[in-house]
Amino acid sequence: MMEMNTTPLIDVMLVLLVMLIITIPMQSHAVKLDLPGGPPPASIDPVKNRLAITAHGALLWNGKAVSKPDLHVLLEASAANRSEPELHLLPSAEAPYAAVDEVLAMAKRADVTRMGFVGNEAYARF
């Protein structure tokens, strides 16, 4: 027989691998947190601003019509507030996608972090 028998070599390698796995120390990183014991205390809701986009692409800030430069100023002022209010975005079903996309880009540039889409529950079923 001219070939080398690799079975013992494989057995030794597997034993060494198992020994290496056994000797590696267990990772025991822990993060200590003090969790509250009872229900969270009642807090006052922050101001919620509603931004509606109509079917014609008009912008309504809390029910009042605003232009795009005015909206940009309002978004920056809202994001600069220490307790940033929520921005509820309510686009109409017939609103042009370009208008909604432009408002989302303006909100991103103004660093608005607390934003949500409102009214999508009506479109849950097609």
Q: Which residues are CB-contacts of 76 (< 8 A; sequence separation ≥ 6)?
A: 110
pTM of the prediction? 0.58
pLDDT tens per residue across span 87-113: 888 888 888 989 989 999 998 888 888
pLDDT digit string, tens, across residues 36-72: 565 544 333 456 888 899 999 899 988 888 888 888 8
Question: Residues 23, 75: contact at Cβ < 8 Å?
Answer: no
Question: Half-sphere exposure of 61 toward its Cβ, with a 13 Å CA cutoff?
Answer: 13
Q: How far apart are CA 59 and CA 99, in angstroms?
A: 9
Helical H segments across the chain, by residue range = 7-23, 68-80, 97-109
Task: List C-alpha distances in Å: 56 to 49, 51, 67, 107, 109.
Answer: 21, 14, 13, 20, 24
Residue 119's pLDDT is what? 76
Go through the domains of the chain in sequence order and give each one's CATH number. Answer: 48-119 (3.30.420)
